[in-house]
Structure 1
């Protein structure tokens, strides 16, 4: 049983296609297909089967892919123990994150790593929940957000919630609701709404507002970037949902809590189990949790409406 064959199946499970595996491992698709055929001969079992125009793992393939994670995690744990014997952890940790989540965490993260010998290489990425596994295949840690307790796409990953941030309704300052201490879903019935693309976490709150009020919102735009959403709301283009602590203070923009629907995002650090066994990655993960706790504390935000894990 060769480790390279197990790793191939794991990559196929995470990335989904032979083409994606080939691109990530700097090989041609034909070379990956040849290695897959070699793996089938070595294991004496069919490991993939047709799935439309592509392939999917068979039950045997899935079994071996999951086993590959266990093997890689054991090896990483052994390396961690060896690093501990030789002194404090060092090295580079790659971290890909949603910009609004990185903005929340990075100012407190980097100072906590000063003098540790650990370098963090950041990549800002528009990480949708369905893309967590793909990003985790190429990075030690992925920082995303979710409105669910178990983020979609995290079933093959280890997830740690490092902070929680309330989501408020963003309104033009001249809006009839802007001066309230809180609003309910029924107050928003029929409002022009600047949403996010379908399938992104914030859209679940838009659906909850419509279900509770019994009226559809008039979705006029679907924008990923919170900064663009801010200026659109401030200009009077519509209402939206924005995170409380990382939304810019802008003329013409007001934030009001939504009181009858749970609207809190969990900022989540995810990674492959073996990556999270690395000593340097564990140090960074602990520092992220500390940074999240500090950023969301009442003394830092002026609010006690946030919980931190």
Structure 2
């Protein structure tokens, strides 16, 4: 058995179709199929079975797919020790980053890594459950969640929690609540709301605030970009929620802490387990931890 063939089974398990595996590995679907057939002949067991118009892994195929992760992780660790022996860790790392988390972490990360690591940043603003899918095509994914523990979708990934960032209520500077030390859900009942699409963590928090206030809020707009939320709030079109560390001060808005509910988001970095073992990726994760501790202060999570 060759690792490259086992990796195809792992990719099929993750991606669900031969065509998706072919795109990810930059070969043709027929080449993927041929290599899997060859592996089946080598071990004498069927590794895929028909599913509709496509295929899925058999139990034996899933066993080997899980083994591929283990083998790839061991190879990555050995390569890492070799890199350390040679006296240098470098290479390219592709990072998919939630923009509002990237604003907080990426400037200091790039400075910390220096020229030895070629960090390539790709910005993605997706629902919480979709960060796991991004890990298939990027070395690292910087995302966030509201719950204390990761979603089931993140299971099977290497997850490092970096920092806890408070989420504040954003109001126009001229709003009566702008000078308050904090607000409670009942204080903002009846306000017009600038929200985010359903499935995004901040929308789950809005629902919790509504429940605590005992009143549903009128949602004027649902937008994903925090800068757009800032602009709409500053224009007096409603109030919203914004993360404290990554929101620019001033700009016509004021941030007011919300009392009575846990409102912090957890910013995390995700990776496939074997990818996380690569020397340059592990080096980047360590640098992220240091940057998070410096930025987060008392809100930083323990490493």
TM-score, L = length of structure 1:
0.88
Count the aligned residue pairs.
Answer: 301
Residue 163 of structure 1 is matched in structure 2 by 163
Partner of 1:217: 217
Q: What is the distance in 2 between the residues matched to 1:271 and 1:52?
A: 31
Cα gap change, 1:51/1:107 in structure 2, threshold over 3 Å: closer, same or farther? same
- Decide whether aligned partners of structure 1 residues 256 and 22 sit closer, same or farther in structure 2, where only a CA change above 3 A counts: same
Map residues 279-294 of structure 1 onto 2, 5 A cutoff.
279-294=279-294
Counterpart of 1:120 in structure 2 is 119
Matched position secondary structure for 1:263: coil
Deviates more, 1:106-115 or 1:254-263: 106-115
Within the alignment, does 1:131 sit opposite 2:124 as a pair? no
Q: Following TM superposition, by how much is the alpha carbon of 1:105 offset from its aligned partner in structure 2, in angstroms?
A: 0.7
- Matches of 1:8 and 1:77, distance apart in 2: 21
Is this contact kept in 2: 1:172–1:253, CA < 8 A? yes
| Superposition RMSD in Å | 2.2
Deviation at 1:63, TM superposition (A): 2.3
- List structure 1 segments (4+ residues) > 6 angstroms apart after TM superposition: none
Contact 2:126 2:200 (C-alpha < 8 Å) held by counterparts: no
Instruction: Summarize the alignment of residues 1-309 of structure 1 with structure 2, pairs less than 5 Å apart.
Output: 1-49=1-49, 55-114=55-114, 117-152=116-151, 153-297=153-297, 304=298, 306-309=299-302
SS at match of 2:199: coil
Query: What SS does the corresponding residue of 2:250 show, helix, strand or coil?
Result: coil
TM-score normalized with structure 2 length: 0.90
1:120 Cα deviation after fit: 1.5
Shift of 1:198: 1.4
**Structure 1 residues 105, 211: CA separation in 2 closer, same or farther (over 3 Å shift)?**
same
- Rounded to whole Å, the distance in 2 between the matches of 1:30 and 1:156 is 29
Check the 8 A contact 1:97/1:127 in 2, yes or no.
no
- CA-CA distance at 1:55 after TM superposition: 4.7
Distance in 1 separating the partners of 2:53 and 2:195: 33
Q: CA deviation at 1:148?
A: 2.2
- Please state whether the residue corresponding to 2:176 is helix, strand or coil: coil
